[in-house]
Structure formats: structure tokens, C-alpha cells
Amino acid sequence: MTIAAKFEIEYLQYLDAEGKQVRDDLPEFAKDLEHMVKLYKLMLSTRVFDAKSIALQRTGKLGTYASCLGHEAAHVGIGSAMRPEDVYAPSYREYGAQLYRGVQPREVYMYWGGDERGNDYQKEPARHDFAWSVPIATQCLHAAGSALAFKIRGEKRVAVCTIGDGGSSKGDFYGAINIAGAQNLPLVCVIVNNQWAISVPRKIQSGAPTLAQKGIAAGLFSIQVDGNDIIAVRKAMEDALERARNGEGGSVIEAVTYRLGDHTTADDARRYRGEQEVKDGWEKEPMKRLRNWLVAKGVWDDAKEEAWKAECDEWMDNEVNAYLETKTQPVSAMFDYIFAEVPADLAKQRDYVLSLENQLESKKGH
């Protein structure tokens, strides 16, 4: 028998569910305990931010919101591995990566509150990243296009995109990784496999044993990691980014985690998944394992945890107030940013809406 090709998918993990090391060859960044504390603090900040966000939505101060509960290690691991000059194309819940790169919670709230100015990130390096992408998988093509531009320009930059397990079945995802393989592009695509595509479980999304192996068909380096282990995520990202930067091609990383909350605040996951499954997910969640590891190393304790939570609460109060105090855009804004030159029919609609607004203002004056 002649074998045309063989492949295998490596699984990478450094910390188990209880925070115990399962291998001794820690990457260099993980030996810097001060840095690991910084990463943990951002994960904790992200969780505080997430809880505040849901509270805002429940009180009518925010539109539909997509929670990141349980994804903190995957997202912070991605963002912290990137260089400032790299470009990130997110989907719609990777707040940990975005916070690391300078996105402000007030900008997240503006976006989910219906104000597109939230996508105009004010701080670097997020300022040159892509906006949130709710249409599933389209961000992968944006990242692939960026990667092609970097190659053409001879720039040592990498385009990174994130996508969910369900999104990895979309043609946009396959098109992006295919062109990355065919053109040897500096693209890193991370499949954040949280086991649920809204209400569709992973087991009926694909017959493949791993989602990482989808990258094999495109000719990309492919690996599966424990997405609840930030050391594993960060190490896989660092390796993938270095390969891409050195002209050695792109990668697909599958970060296996679990969505602890609802898909969005418009969802009720109790309708389609059991209570025991969620309890099992909490046993493997990312915060506990990193905290236990840091405590065992003697660099974290309960007092530090409570002090940091208090700082996070103050930080979030300031961000929420900044969001709530943001002045709304004029009605004309909905017409101003669609066409370079407003077509006659839209101009007519704009004039009509502005006339109604003027009438209302006139009545207020009386």
C-alpha cells in the first residue's frame, strides 16, 4: 500500500485543571513570575468587566452583549503573544486580547450600545486592529488580506484572527486558510473551541477528531492546545507568530475551552445543555488553575486578589461612567458614513428626518 500523506495533531498543556504542572519545560515567559501575575490580573480584570457588562445589559443600559466567561486564558494568551505592529481581526467576544492591546471598556460598551464609534479604538496598538465582526468568519478573510499585504510589502508583521468552533465550518474560514497556505502568508488563525455554536454542540458540527486538523488541508502548521491553560495558549501563539514572521507560513491553533455563560444575553443556554455539563466546565475553568499555580509559587494570595478586585471595580466604574456620559451622535450620522457622495434618495430621507428633528426641537422650545 502506498501512503500519499500522513499527519498528526499535537496537544499542548502545561497546567492541569487544578493548576499543577504536567511538564517541566516551561517556556521562558512562564518563568517570569511577575509577568505571569500581570497576565492573571488581566484575566481577572476581564472577568470583572464581563460581569459588569452583563449587569449593564440587564438594566437596559447596553444592547445585546456576548459574554467571554471561561475564555479568559485563551483570549489573554492570544493578545499577550502579539507584537504591537501585528494586526488583530477579532470576532465579537475576545475582550481579553483586545484589552491587552489597548481597547477600552467604554469602547466595547459604545459598540454594544449601538454606537459604531466604539469601533474607532483610540489607543495603540489596537488603533490599527480590525473592528468587531458579528458576521461569522468574515474576519478571517480580512486577516488573510492583511497577511498578503504584509508579504507584498516585505513587512515582518503577522495577521491574527480568532473564530469559534462553529465558525470554522464556514467557507470564509476555509478560503482564508487556503490562500494562507497557497501563498505562504503570515496568518495565525485561532479556533476558540468553546464546544457550542450557539445551541449546536461540537459533536455534531464536524466529524473530525480535532478542529485543528482543518489547517492540515490548507498546508498550515496545526496544533490543539488546552484553551484553559494560558501558558499553553501563549506558547503555541509565540511559536506560530515566530514561524509566520520568519516566512515559514501560517498556523491554525485550536484552543479547547468551554463557554460558561450564554451565547449572548439574548440566549438562554439552559434550553439546550444540561446542568452537569456546565458544572464540569467550571471544574476546568482557566482562572482557578492559574491562580493555584501562582499561589503555589508564592506570588499570589487572597489579600492580593481582593485588593486587585477593588481596583478593577474602580476602573470599571470610571469606564461605565465615561460610556454613559458620551453624547449621542446627531441623527444625520446614520446617513453620513455610507457613501462618499450621498445618493439623491438617501439625501431626501436625511432631509426629511432632519426636518422632523427640527420640529421636535421647536416644540421643546415652546
Catalytic positions: 259, 263, 272
Give how far Cα 173 sits from Cα of 128, 240, 258, 313, Å: 22, 18, 21, 38
> How many residues would you count in the chain?
366
Closest C-alpha to 229, from 76, 62, 107? 76
* CB 291 within 8 Å of CB 40: yes
SS (H, E, C) 246-271: CCCCCEEEEEECCCCCCCCCCCCHHH
Please give the span between the terminal C-alpha atoms of the chain, in angstroms, as a whole number.
Answer: 90
User: Strands, E, within 165-275: which ranges?
Assistant: 187-193, 196-197, 200-201, 221-226, 251-256
Residue 117 half-sphere exposure, CB side, CA atoms within 13 Å? 11
Q: What is the DSSP letter of 1?
A: -
Residue 197's CB is within 10 A of a number of other CB atoms, namely 20
Quote the strand ranges of the chain, DSSP E.
10-12, 87-89, 159-164, 187-193, 196-197, 200-201, 221-226, 251-256
CA–CA distance, 124 with 211 (Å, rounded to integer): 32
62 burial level (CB within 10 Å; 0-12, 13-18, 19+): buried
- 57, three cell numbers: 445589559
Q: What CA dihedral angle connects 349, 350, 351 and 352, to 10 degrees?
A: 50
